[in-house]
């Protein structure tokens, strides 16, 4: 049974997480894909190709990506290399305190350059990426022409 995990499952956006896939065949080629939908309904995704080790595992922090949106060992590559499906879009959020980005991670057998709705992943999970920690207070700033927000720690 193939399983993909993100540890911790819920974290601040600037904190590293560990992405691990278990239950693969030794030396199996797989595609790891991450994707999210922003507040405007725009989809962003990243993918990387990996070869499982002798134990049938892929650890993004130890194993090198063979291709995709990046190559080499990038523990956070599936989060850092998210690209918009539509040209000239940027990943931004206005609601930094209210809700996290939900990043979906999926594992596909073989090298998948394009995945459609008919393609079933071997395993999937979701990670929460928060921009504001618990207890942080957001105070709007409007002084003259200055607009912004002051974030106060608990």
- What value, to the nearest 5°, has the Cα angle with vertex 83 and ends 24 and 52? 15
> Residue 41: CB partners within 8 Å, gap ≥ 6?
none
Q: What is the pLDDT along the chain (154 residues), one digit of tens a residue?
A: 999 999 999 999 999 999 999 999 999 999 999 999 998 899 999 999 999 999 999 999 999 999 999 999 999 999 999 999 988 888 887 777 778 999 999 999 999 887 776 789 999 999 999 988 888 998 999 999 999 989 899 9
Ordered DSSP codes for 81-147: T-EESSTT-----S-TTT--EEEEEEEEES--SS--TTPPPSEEEEEEEESS-TT-EEEEEEETTEE
pLDDT at 95: 76
The domain defined by 3-152 folds into: Immunoglobulin-like (2.60.40)
Residue ranges per domain, the chain? 3-152
pLDDT at 99: 85
pLDDT at 88: 87
pTM to 2 decimals? Answer: 0.87
Q: Which helix (H) or strand (E) holds 36?
A: strand 29-37
Neighbours of 76 (CB within 10 A): 14
Neighbours of 136 (CB within 10 A): 14
């Amino acid at each position: 049974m193939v399983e993909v995990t993100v540890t911790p499952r819920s974290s601040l956006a600037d904190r590293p997480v560990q992405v691990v896939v278990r239950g693969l065949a030794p030396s199996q080629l797989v595609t790891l894909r991450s994707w999210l939908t922003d507040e405007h309904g725009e989809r962003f995704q990243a993918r990387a190709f990996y070869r499982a080790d002798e134990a049938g595992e892929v650890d993004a922090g130890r194993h090198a990506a063979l291709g995709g949106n990046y190559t080499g060992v990038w523990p956070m590559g599936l989060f850092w290399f998210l690209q918009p499906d539509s040209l000239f879009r940027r990943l931004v959020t206005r609601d930094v305190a209210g809700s996290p980005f939900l990043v979906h991670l999926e594992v596909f057998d073989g090298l998948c350059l394009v995945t459609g709705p008919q393609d079933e992943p071997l395993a999937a999970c979701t990670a929460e990426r928060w921009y504001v920690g618990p207890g942080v207070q957001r105070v709007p700033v409007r002084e003259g022409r200055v607009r912004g927000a002051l974030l106060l720690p608990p």
